[in-house]
Amino acid sequence: MPETTVRTAGAGVRLAVGYFHSYSVVGLLAVVGVLFVAVAFASGRLLRPVVPTREKMLTYECGVDPVGEGWAHTQVRYYVYAFLYVIFAVDSIFLFPWATVFAAPGFGGTTLVEMFIFLGFLAVGLLYAWKKGVLEWT
């Protein structure tokens, strides 16, 4: 069983105290933040008037009085377009780090091959969506 040495004084103790002091500052700041939010919510709950009326309990949508039921049919194709946009927008973000690595010495050829493989996967996904008729507006 290895022995552990404990220093009672010196630079090591001062270093440990400084190390934990920085964490105590962060912890104190977190506690103050949580208390600030709790006090704000509690004071808002105590000071606000509570007078429920029929008009206050209605659904509010941009200043327009609600008419009919809350159910509405939505076309799925809008979600498909949004989903495709998000996929290709997020995937295109990966091209920027590759562009910076491409300029670094020793990574040019490998990075270029990886980039074209990635673009190939994107092209296959776009071709699949096109073949399935997802990109047609009807």
pLDDT tens, residue by residue, 125-136: 888 888 888 777
Is the pTM for the entire model greater than 0.75?
no
Q: How far apart are CA 117 and CA 98, in angstroms?
A: 12
3-class state of residue 66 by DSSP: coil
Q: What is the pLDDT of residues 112-127, one digit of tens each?
A: 788 888 888 888 888 8
Q: For the segment 52-85, what is each residue's pLDDT rounded down to a tens digit? A: 888 777 776 676 666 767 677 777 777 777 877 8
CA-to-CA separations, 79 to 74, 88, 120, 135, 136, in angstroms, rounded: 9, 14, 24, 12, 13
Query: Cα–Cα distance between 52 and 56 in angstroms, integer?
Result: 6
